[in-house]
Structure 1
Amino acid sequence: MKAYVFPGQGSQFPGMAKDLWEEFDSVKALFTEANEILGFDIQKIMFDGSAEDLKQTKVTQPAIFIHSCALALAKGESMKPDMVAGHSLGEFSALVANKTLKFKDALSLVSKRAQAMQKACELEPSTMAAVLGLEDKVVEDICAYIDGVVVAANYNCPGQLVISGATAAVEAACEKLKEAGAKRALLLPVGGAFHSPLMEPAREELAAAIEATEFSTPICPIYQNVTASAVSDPAEIKKNLNKQLTAPVKWTQSVQQMVKDGAIEFIEVGPGKVLQGLVKKINRESEVSSL
């Protein structure tokens, strides 16, 4: 069985999707539609902007989403996924690929999500940190012991977990994690505490937009970040997407479940190869490639 997986924030690069735009008329039309929906020329920023330009949250999230959708549109003639999953932001691209969401509706949600997250980041000094070389349970227990908000946010692969929360609490957790034997516990260059309770204002803001959007019955199940299990019911998909901003990304658990359910080949659709690397660390037997 084939699993198509979609990357999240961090895989952007200058010139992204320009080659697809030059080669495929369908991608040209996609960018025209994207510029109209967003109300600014994202095509120009993606093709000609600097790495710094692409770092703005209101640009980064739509850019990665558009790149994934453009790839699927241009090269996905034979794309018949048996299952899909997306890492954080990538869940929106996955929902377009399995026909739960229309491109225009998903892009509108991604844009609102980026803006809501940006606002939430400005409310309190917050950050994230990568922790390498410890069992998940050890990281969870240390976070629970720290004063202030700090939680496990991204279960990326065994021995690689990202924590998220208030800056002082994350810094204190990093010290304790190093004492507990972490190979590394280092702050990430991010704007705030994604996938933590500090994103509650963003979750509330996005919830109304998700509620008002039409979700169709998908052509195959999506393994959602919140549940790490196969979901095909549109109402349930919507409910899980609502929780995503404040809940951890269960990527390790999602890939493990997909493998249990018969996934042999994982195909990454989007910029970069981060997910291929994570899949290999989670299950060495899996075949990985990109579209």
Structure 2
Amino acid sequence: MKAFVFPGQGSQYCGMGRDLYERFPEAQELMDKADSILGFSITNIMFNGSEDELKQTRYTQLAIFLHSFAAATLLGREGVKMAAGHSLGEYTALCFSGAISFEDAVRLVAKRGELMQNAGQQNPGTMAAIIGMADDALDALLEEASASGIVQAANFNSPGQIVISGDVDAVRKAVELASSKGARMAKELVVSGAFHSPLMKPAEKEFAETLDTIAIRDAEIPVCMNVVAKPVTAATEIRANLISQLTSSVLWSQSVQAMVDAGITEFVEVGPQKVLQGLIKRISKSTMCSGVDTADQVDAMRTPA
């Protein structure tokens, strides 16, 4: 059984999606529609923007969503039994599954990116990657570092690769303590906020209000959601999980394992770069894993062998 998985923030690159736009009329129509909905040209930022411009959260999230969804639309749903996305990528998965319309997804992703960027400015924080540490040792590390402020596990990316998030002092204290607690590596990340931590709380209320204006339907393909690490189809559960996702940990490793346990044997990462493929190979070595980013890769997957 096959699942489509969609990347999150950090997978962007300059020129992303341009070849899809130029080769496929369906992709061009979607991207032009997004520009029209937004009232500015996200496609111009994707195709021609600088790295600094593209890494601004309010643009990054839209660019990755649009690239990923355009590629997924070109591939279609045939044979896809489940979907999932890493943080932002969950919105692509939900749109692909039919739970959220394309127009509403564009508006939601735009609002999410704007609110997260604003929350990062209102409550400055940071994130760090902790590599090669057991979960129980990580718990002890976070408990000790929390004396300096808010800090929690933000992303369980793969066994032994966890991202933490919170107040600058607390995250830096955790990085400082990591080597003595058994970590192979600990490194602060260059980010614009403490994503998936309580420091995103200012974004949560306004995002929930925006979500109340959006129609969410039952998903036609189960989506394994970040907050609960289990396949979800019910609209009410999707809505609640999306609100919680802003401040909760991304249970990616657990989500992939849940999909494998449900019978998924093949993962296709749809969207820019290969980040999720690398993580999935570390989570489940027995599964097949591939990716579709470029127009040539779309053509290759659409053409029967």
TM-score range, shorter chain: over 0.9
The residue number in structure 1 matching 2:59 is 59
Output the amino acid matched with 2:230. Answer: S
Output the amino acid matched with 2:251. Answer: K
Distance 1:55 1:92 in 2: 19
Aligned length: 290
Query: Gaps (5+ residues) in structure 1?
Result: none
Distance 2:77 2:214 in 1: 28
The superposition leaves residues 90-134 of structure 1 with CA deviations (integer Å, 9 ceiling, x where unpaired) of: 000000111111111011000000110011101132000000010
Query: Gaps (5+ residues) in structure 2?
Result: 293-305
The residue number in structure 1 matching 2:48 is 48
Output the amino acid matched with 2:274. Answer: K
Assess, with a 3 A threshold, how the Cα gap between structure 1 residues 63 and 79 changes in structure 2: closer, same or farther. farther
Percent identity of the aligned residues? Answer: 48
Report matched runs for 1:1-291 at 5 Å: 1-74=1-74, 76-77=75-76, 79-146=78-145, 147=147, 148-291=149-292
Moved more, 50-59 or 235-244: 50-59
Contact 1:142 1:173 in 2 (8 A): yes
What's the TM-score once normalised by structure 1's chain length? Answer: 0.97
Contact 2:226 2:252 in 1 (8 A): yes
Distance 2:267 2:261 in 1: 13
Output the amino acid matched with 1:142. Answer: L
Contact 1:136 1:161 in 2 (8 A): no
Moved more, 168-177 or 85-94: 168-177
Distance 2:176 2:194 in 1: 18
Output the amino acid matched with 2:175. Answer: C
Moved more, 26-35 or 241-250: 26-35
Output the amino acid matched with 1:83. Answer: M
Distance 2:260 2:5 in 1: 13
What's the TM-score once normalised by structure 2's chain length? Answer: 0.93
Shift of 1:78: 5.4
SS of alignment partner, residue 122 of structure 1: helix
Stretches (4+) displaced over 4 A: none
SS of alignment partner, residue 122 of structure 2: coil
RMSD: 1.0
Distance 2:78 2:252 in 1: 22
Assess, with a 3 A threshold, how the Cα gap between structure 1 residues 212 and 80 changes in structure 2: closer, same or farther. farther
SS of alignment partner, residue 214 of structure 2: coil
Distance 1:124 1:215 in 2: 30
The superposition leaves residues 4-57 of structure 1 with CA deviations (integer Å, 9 ceiling, x where unpaired) of: 100000010011011011111111111111111222111111111121120111
Distance 1:37 1:128 in 2: 32
The superposition leaves residues 70-100 of structure 1 with CA deviations (integer Å, 9 ceiling, x where unpaired) of: 10122x1354421110000000000011111
Shift of 1:140: 2.2
Output the amino acid matched with 1:101. Answer: I
Moved more, 246-255 or 204-213: 204-213
The superposition leaves residues 214-269 of structure 1 with CA deviations (integer Å, 9 ceiling, x where unpaired) of: 11121111110000011111111111111000000000000011000000000101
The superposition leaves residues 129-171 of structure 1 with CA deviations (integer Å, 9 ceiling, x where unpaired) of: 0000101221122112221100000000000000000000000
Distance 1:84 1:47 in 2: 27
Contact 2:137 2:182 in 1 (8 A): no
